[in-house]
Amino acid sequence: MNPFSSGTRLRDMIRAIRSCKTAAEERAVVRKECAAIRAAISENDQDYRHRNLAKLMFIHMLGYPTHFGQMECLKLIASSGFPEKRIGYLGLMLLLDERQEVLMLVTNSLKQDLNHSNQYIIGLALCALGNICSAEMARDLAPEVERLLQFRDPNIRKKAALCSIRIIKKVPDLAENFINPAASLLREKHHGVLITGVQLCTDLCKVSSEALEYFREKCTEGLVKTLKDMANSPYAPEYDIAGITDPFLHIRLLKLLRILGQGDADASDCMNDILAQVATKIESNKNAGNAILYECVGTIMSIEDNGGLRVLAINILGRFLSNRDNNIRYVALNMLMKAITVDAQAVQRHRATILECVKDSDASIRKKALDLVYLLVNESNVKPLTKELIESLEASDQEFKGVLTAKICSLVEKFSPEKIWYIDQMLKVLSEAGNFVKDEVWHALIVVISNASDLHGYSVRALYRAFQTSTEQETLVRVAVWCIGEYGDMLVNNVGMLDIEEPITVTESDAVDALEVSIKRLNSDLTTKAMALIALLKLSSRFPSCSERIKDIILQNKRSFVLELQQRSIEFNCILQKHQNIRSALVERMPVLDEATFSGRRAGSLPTSVSTSTGTARNLPNGIAKPAAAPVADLLDLSSSDAPAPSSSGGDFLQDLLGVDLSPASAPPGTSQPPKADDKASLVNLNGLASLTSLSPNATSASPAPMMDLLDGFGPSPQKKEENGPAYPSLVAYESSTLRMTFNISKQPGNPQITLIQAIFTNLSPNVYNDFLFQAAVPKFLQLHLDPASSNTLPASGNGSIIQSMKVTNSQHGKKSLVMRIRIAYKINNKDVLEEGQVSNFPRDL
C-alpha cells in the first residue's frame, strides 16, 4: 500500500464529519482531510486520486473552499480508465463553472473523449460539454457534436442533441448547421431521442428564424402525426405515467407545435384536430394529465384563432380554477393572465372564482389573483369588485395588505363613477388599512372632498364616526382632523344631511375632544399633531364657546421639543389672544382646491408628502400659506395683473389659488404671520418661508400677505436703504395738497429685472408729521422690498424730507411695467391721517 495514501475511505470521512457535534469540530476534521488531500496532490498520487476528488466534492458541498482540487479534475479526465474519467468529469461539473479559464484546458481531453471507442466515455464527455461549456469550447467542439447526432447508439444521439442545445445558445451562429440533423431526429422512434430532438428543434426555432421557417414547412405534419400516435398509443409500461404514455413527450410536442403554429394560419389549422383531441380526452385527475392539459391550453391560446378551441381552453382553465389543488389554481391564474389579452370577455366570466382566490391562504395564489383582478376591472364591474377587494383587505395579512391597499386605491381613483362612492370606499380603506395608504392618495381624497361641496357634511360626519372606531390608522386620523377643523360647524349642526345617513349628535365639545385625542394619542406623528393644531384654531373661530378650552389645549404644546409644534402653538396662541378681530377671517372656509391642477401637479411628480420636517422647510398641511413677499395685491384688490407670477415650486399652487376668484362677500381669508418677539426678524422670516418646497394640496388658503404691513401696531415696516444711480429721471410718484413723494429710479447693474427706487417725501403742509409710515403694495408679478425709512418725522413745509429706499423685482420685465399702490399714514397733533394712492407713471421699460 502506498505509504502516502490518505487513509480514510470516503464513507469513513463522511461518517466522521456527520458525527461532529459542533461546527468547530467539523472544521477540524475537514481541515485534516484537506491537508491529506493536498499532500496527496503534491505527491502526484495516482491510486487514490479519484477517492480524494470524491472527498473534495463532499467538502465542497459543505461549503468549504476547494479550488486546489481543480487541476486534479483535469488529471483525472486525462487518465485512461473509465472510473477516473467518470469522477473527473463529475468533479469538473461541480467544482468549476464556465467562467473559469481552467476550463479551457479540458478542451483537448474532451475532443479525444468525443472520439473514444467506449460509448460511455463519449457519453460522459457530451454530458460535461452540455452542462458547462463556454462559448469558445462550444465553437471548437461543435463539429464533433454534430457528427455524433448521427451516431449508431441512440443514447449518444440523445445526449448529443441536448449538448447541441447548449452550443446553439452559446453560439447562435452555428444554429444553421444543426437544422438538418435535428429534423432527422424527429423521425426517430426511440423516445429519448425523440424528446431531445423535439427540444433541440424548439430551441433552434427560438434562436434562428430560418430554422423556424424550415421546421414549419417540413415538419409540422410529421409532428402532428407523432402526437396523434402518442395520444392513441396502447399501454406501454416503460413510458407510462399515471395512465398516460410518456407525458413528457406529449408536452414537448405541444410546445414545439405552439411555436410552429404561432402566427401561421396553415400550421395552426393542421393541429386543430389533435389539440381538440388532447384537450378532451386527457384525464385530469393526476398531475401528469393536468400538465399536458396546461400545455395544451397554452398552445391553443397562442396559435391562430379557432373559436371552438378557445372556448374549450377557457373552460379547462375554469375547471382548473375551481380545483382544490393549489398548484392547479396557481397555474390556471397564470394562464388566465395571458388569456386576457386574447379574450377578455371569457375571462370575465370567471371573475367570481378569481375573487375567491384573492382570499386564499396561499400567498403566491393571492398575489396572482390580485394582479388578475386588477386587469379585469372596468367601469361596469368596479363597484362589486371593489367591495370584494375591501372585504379581502380585512382578512389579509400585513405583507399583503400593503400591495392590496395600493391596488384598491388606484382602482378606486381610476374608475370611480361618483364622488360619494369614492369617498365611501376610501373611508373604508382608510379605516381598515390606513397605515398602508400613501400620502398622495389621502391628499387626493381631501381634494375630492373639498370639491364635493354638497358632500361636506356627509364626509365630516362619516369621518367622525370612523374616527371613533379606528384611531390607530394614521391617515384616517389626519383626514378626519382636517375635515373636523374645516367643516366642524356642519358636523355639529347636522348640515346637509343625506337621506341615507343616520342622525348623529355631536356637540362642539365632542368635536374638540376628537381633536384633543388626536394630539394626545401616543402614536400620532408630527403631521397629525400639526394638522390637529390648525384644526383647533379653525374650531376656535367656528365655536367661540370652546375658545378657552382650545386655547388651553394649544398652549400645552408651547414647550414642545418639536420646533414645528412649538411654533404653531405660540403663534396660534397669539392669534387667539391678541388678534380676535382677524381670527375669523383667517380661518374661514377654504376655497375649493383645484382638482385639475392637483392631478396635473401630481402627474408632474412634485414632492407631495407632508413630511415631518426638521424645521427648515415648513410644511403646512392646511391652511397657513407662507406668503411670498409680493402678493399684498389681492388684499388691496390690485388685480391689475392677470398672469400669476412665476414663483418657487410651492408657490405655484398658491398662485393658482390666488387666481381663484375671491368674492368680495367673504373677506378674502388672509393669513397672518403673527409677529414673533422680534419684529425685525419677522420680515426676514417671512421671506425665508416664502419658499414652499413641499406641495400639499391642502396647503392653501388664500392669500398671503405680509399683513404686518397693514396692521397697526406691528412696528415699522422694515425698510432697506439703497443706492440710487439716476439712470432715469426722477418722477413725482404721488402728490397731494399735503404731501409729495418723489421717486428716484435706477437699475441694478447686471440684473434688468431689479429696479432700485429711492422715495423722497416732502411735507407740503405747515404741520409736522409724526409717526410717518409709508406702505406700498404691488401686483403679483412684482416683488417689493422696503428698507427702513430715514426717520419717521417729517418736518413741516419742506424743511426736511424722509428718504426711504425700496427694491422692486419685475418678473415680467419687458412685458409689464411697474405699478404700485401706496398708503401713507402719519399723525398731525396726535390725530391720524391716512393718504392712499396709486403710482402708475413708472417708465414703461422698468
Partner 1 sequence: MIHFVLLISRQGKVRLTKWYSPYSQKERTKVIRELSGLILTRGPKLCNFVEWRGLRVVYKRYASLYFCMCIDEDDNELEILEIIHHYVEVLDRYFGSVCELDLIYNFHKAYFILDELLIAGELQEPSKRTVARLVAAQDSLVETAKEQTSSITNIIAQVANTASL
Q: Report the interface residues with partner 1, using CB under 8 A.
A: 11, 14, 18, 54, 57-58, 61-63, 81-83, 86-87, 90, 93-94, 97-99, 120, 123, 126-127, 130-131, 155, 158-159, 162-163, 165-166, 191-192, 195-196, 199, 238-239, 241, 246-249, 251-252, 255, 287-288, 290-291, 294-295, 298, 326-331, 361-365, 367
E strand intervals along 628-719:
none
Cell of 661: 376668484
Q: 3-class SS at 125?
A: helix
Residue 35 CB, shortest distance to partner 1, in Å, is 21
Q: 3-class SS at 79?
A: coil
**141: Cβ contacts below 8 Å, ≥ 6 apart:** 107, 110, 111, 114, 129, 133, 167
Cell of 846: 422698468
In 63-118, where does DSSP find H-type helix? 70-78, 82-95, 106-114
Distance (Å, whole) CA 475 – CA 700: 19
Residue 244 CB, shortest distance to partner 1, in Å, is 10
Q: Closer to partner 1 by CB, 14 or 39: give it.
A: 14
Q: Say if residue 676 is exposed, middle or buried (CB neighbours under 10 Å; 0-12, 13-18, 19+).
A: middle
Residue 445 CB, shortest distance to partner 1, in Å, is 32
Q: Closer to partner 1 by CB, 363 or 681: give it.
A: 363
Residue 784 CB, shortest distance to partner 1, in Å, is 59
DSSP states along 216-230: HHHHHHHHHHHHHHH
Q: Closer to partner 1 by CB, 368 or 601: give it.
A: 368
Closest CA to 437 of 402, 486, 412: 402
Q: Closer to partner 1 by CB, 90 or 336: give it.
A: 90
Q: Closer to partner 1 by CB, 174 or 491: give it.
A: 174
Q: Closer to partner 1 by CB, 275 or 553: give it.
A: 275
Residue 403 CB, shortest distance to partner 1, in Å, is 13
Q: What is the dihedral of CA 315, 319, 320, 324, to 10 degrees?
A: 170
Residue 11 CB, shortest distance to partner 1, in Å, is 6
Q: Tell me the chain's radius of gyration from C-alpha atoms.
A: 42
Residue 246 CB, shortest distance to partner 1, in Å, is 5
Cell of 293: 392539459
Distance (Å, whole) CA 650 – CA 439: 17
Identify the sign of the CA torsion 481, 486, 492, 497.
negative
Residue 125 CB, shortest distance to partner 1, in Å, is 12
Residue 307 CB, shortest distance to partner 1, in Å, is 25
- Return phi, psi of residue 776, to 5°: -140, 150
Residue 405 CB, shortest distance to partner 1, in Å, is 21
Q: Closer to partner 1 by CB, 328 or 582: give it.
A: 328
- Return phi, psi of residue 67, to 5°: -65, -20
Contact status, residue 579 vs residue 672, Cβ threshold 8 Å: yes
Q: Closer to partner 1 by CB, 159 or 549: give it.
A: 159
Distance (Å, whole) CA 421 – CA 385: 13
Q: Closer to partner 1 by CB, 70 or 817: give it.
A: 70
Q: Closer to partner 1 by CB, 33 or 474: give it.
A: 33
Q: 3-class SS at 826?
A: strand
Q: Closer to partner 1 by CB, 341 or 453: give it.
A: 341
Give 826's strand partners: 833
Q: Closer to partner 1 by CB, 239 or 421: give it.
A: 239
Question: How far apart, in Å, do the first and last CA atoms of the chain sit?
Answer: 108
Residue 140 CB, shortest distance to partner 1, in Å, is 17
Contact status, residue 696 vs residue 610, Cβ threshold 8 Å: yes
Cell of 416: 370611480
Q: Closer to partner 1 by CB, 324 or 844: give it.
A: 324
Q: Closer to partner 1 by CB, 331 or 481: give it.
A: 331
Residue 134 CB, shortest distance to partner 1, in Å, is 9
Angle at 108 between CA 132 and CA 204, to 5 degrees: 45
Residue 533 CB, shortest distance to partner 1, in Å, is 46
Look at strands 731-735 and 244-245 and give their pairing. unpaired
Residue 358 CB, shortest distance to partner 1, in Å, is 15
Distance (Å, whole) CA 671 – CA 618: 15
With residues binned 3-state (H G I as helix, E B as strand, rest as coil), the percentages for the chain, rounded to 5, are: 60, 10, 35
Residue 48 CB, shortest distance to partner 1, in Å, is 12
Per residue in 753-787, is it b (16+ CB within 10 Å) or e — as a string?
bbbbbbbbbbbebebbbeebbbbbbbbbbbbbbbb
Q: Closer to partner 1 by CB, 126 or 448: give it.
A: 126
Q: Closer to partner 1 by CB, 251 or 491: give it.
A: 251
Q: Say if residue 647 is exposed, middle or buried (CB neighbours under 10 Å; 0-12, 13-18, 19+).
A: buried
Distance (Å, whole) CA 644 – CA 631: 10
Residue 510 CB, shortest distance to partner 1, in Å, is 47
Residue 574 CB, shortest distance to partner 1, in Å, is 57
Q: Closer to partner 1 by CB, 362 or 439: give it.
A: 362
HEC assignment per residue over 538-605: HHHHHCHHHHHHHHHHHHCCCCCCCHHHHHHHHHHHHHHHHCHHHHHHHCCCCCCCCHHHHHHHHHCC
